[in-house]
Amino acid sequence: MNQALVIGLLILAAFGSFCGFLTWQLVSRLLSLFRGISVQGRCVRRYSTESSDNGTSWHHVYGFTTQDGQYVEFEEDAMFMTQGQAVTIHYRASNPARSATVMGRGGAWSPLFGQLLGIFVTGMFTLLGAAFVWIGISKPGL
């Protein structure tokens, strides 16, 4: 097997898998947004973590009560969200904890834009991997 083909397959497998995962997550959030149940919730905690390169990451934990009375907390990053802030939360009744999102009107749009950016970047690398595979197949001597 030539080098371009091997590199292309590795890039395609790694970034294609991650792009697929991010796309699946986005579809799940959009299903909650458009077909789910909407309730009022709050940002119950906001905390930061420090990385080894002196970067700070902010984390947001949201809490809400489902229509059947179950209290659920979940973490989703959203810019400009403050602790105690009321938000609209969308979830699917089949699994509230895994399908909950603050994305959308009454919540925040930053999770959507962050997800789309991730899909775009990993998608570009996936296309790069596909190009390497194509070069490796069409020009076996490289």
CA distance linking residue 86 with residue 41, whole number of Å: 6
Domain ranges, residue 97: 3-138
Q: What angle do CA 42, 44, 48 make, to 5 degrees?
A: 130
Residues 6+ apart with CB under 8 A from 127: none
CA distance linking residue 134 with residue 4, whole number of Å: 9
Tell me the average pLDDT across 41-61: 89
Of 84, 77, 70, nearest to 39 by C-alpha is 70
Q: What is the separation of C-alpha 133 from the centre of its chain, rounded to a whole number of angstroms?
A: 27
Question: Per residue in 80-91, pLDDT tens?
Answer: 889 999 999 999
3-state secondary structure of 120: helix
CA distance linking residue 12 with residue 6, whole number of Å: 10
3-state secondary structure of 78: coil
Question: Per residue in 94-134, pLDDT tens?
Answer: 999 999 999 998 888 888 999 999 999 999 999 999 999 99
Residue ranges of E strands in the chain: 37-50, 56-65, 71-75, 86-91
pTM of the model: 0.80
DSSP state of 103: B
* Selected residue with higher pLDDT from 139 and 35: 35
How many domains, in total, are found in the chain?
1
